[in-house]
Chains A and B, each alone.
Chain A
Amino acid sequence: AQSVTQPDIHITVSEGASLELRCNYSYGATPYLFWYVQSPGQGLQLLLKYFSGDTLVQGIKGFEAEFKRSQSSFNLRKPSVHWSDAAEYFCAVGDRIQGAQKLVFGQGTRLTINP
């Protein structure tokens, strides 16, 4: 069965510092890969996605993610965080063969920003 692991439940970084959120997946083949962000009381906003091609993908708000097939990972990065980046971040996978109508999510990583 598909599974997604986000090893860090909570991360705290200082404003202006770099950020890396980890995501590992277990799947028979390379799935579609997504990162979403959720602010308190809100829905999920798509940050970026990977389907194929260049393994470094750029997203909104200055985020990027790198797909590493050998490590089954899709880590999210940002060179310099802003206080407005405080939120919960979810990594998700979708089935490439049957279609991504059903996303499997990680447990999420809550990001706190120190001023």
Chain B
Amino acid sequence: KAGVTQTPRYLIKTRGQQVTLSCSPISGHRSVSWYQQTPGQGLQFLFEYFSETQRNKGNFPGRFSGRQFSNSRSEMNVSTLELGDSALYLCASRGSPASGNPSAETQYFGPGTRLLVL
């Protein structure tokens, strides 16, 4: 099975621009979570999508948004970029939660998208 894929791998943007990152989950996985990783704050949860619905959201401003498509692929968007948005953005997929199978709760991560805001 192919793993989680993320595109693009690297991005350079300037302040005020917006950016869209894409994540394709492992085949058959229906839940996608997004995380931001920075040296100062570490790994922080952004949001999670399951069956095209956002089910959980972390403590990030409204500039950070996302969506999920019917094929479980997900995108996240950051508008009005700030210097502090420079980070590695990771997405993770897992199986069908609430299936009664604890292994479905395991998140598998993609390689990440490295965003640099100048």
Residues of A within 8 A of B (CB): 32, 34, 36, 41-46, 49, 51-52, 90, 92, 94, 99-108
**Tally of B interface residues using CB under 8 Å:** 29
The SS class assigned to the B binding surface is strand
Contacts of A49 in B (CB 8 A): 106
CB-CB under 8 A from B43, the residues of chain A are 90, 92, 103, 105, 108
A52 close to B102 (CB less than 8 A): yes
| Chain B residues positioned under 8 Å from A92 (CB to CB) | 43
Chain A contact residues: helix, strand, loop or mixed: strand
User: B94 to A100, Cβ gap below 8 A?
Assistant: yes
Could you say which residues of chain B place their CB within 8 Å of the CB of A102? 33, 45, 48, 56, 58
A6 to chain B, nearest CB (A): 10
- Summed over the interface, the residue pairs from A and B with CB atoms below 8 Å come to a total of 67
* Chain A min CB distance to B3 (Å): 9
Of all chain B residues, which has the CB nearest A6?
B42
B42 touches A107 (CB 8 A): yes
Contact with A along B18-44 (1 / 0, CB 8 A): 000000000000010101000000110
Instruction: Specify which of B42, B48, B109 is in contact with A43 (CB 8 Å cutoff).
Output: B109
The answer on a CB contact under 8 Å between B105 and A94 is yes
